[in-house]
Amino acid sequence: MATPSVQIRRATPDDIVILAQLNRFVHDLHVDARPDTFHLVHAADELAPHFAAFLAREGAMAYIAESSENGPVGYITAAIQNRSADALMHPQRF
């Protein structure tokens, strides 16, 4: 039996529904643990606007892991942050 391969690719706006579906599992864990903090989401398509807005932000990115046997199996998001200098700190980019 061959081991399934996993490919990582950058998400595009066409992947918003996939991101929302993959998010369901972990978000449900957050809601169960902290219903005082996290909203219950009834359907993955409710999250589509959230992921669309995230991907539209400057410096935001998401990557999707896809299994050769099971399709999309995970994702990660990241955003580059720029902070201006102020009286106490130098400008930062992280």
Segment 37-70, tens digit of pLDDT: 998 888 878 889 999 999 999 999 999 999 988 8
Position 4 confidence tier, pLDDT thresholds 50, 70, 90: confident
Helix/strand/coil for 75? strand
Is 6-93 CATH 3.40.50.10320? no
Q: Are 41 and 35 in contact (CB under 8 A)?
A: no
**pTM of the predicted structure, to 2 decimals:** 0.80
Residue 61, both tokens: 């990115």
Whole-angstrom Cα distance, residue 66 to residue 88?
44
Whole-angstrom Cα distance, residue 24 to residue 65?
16
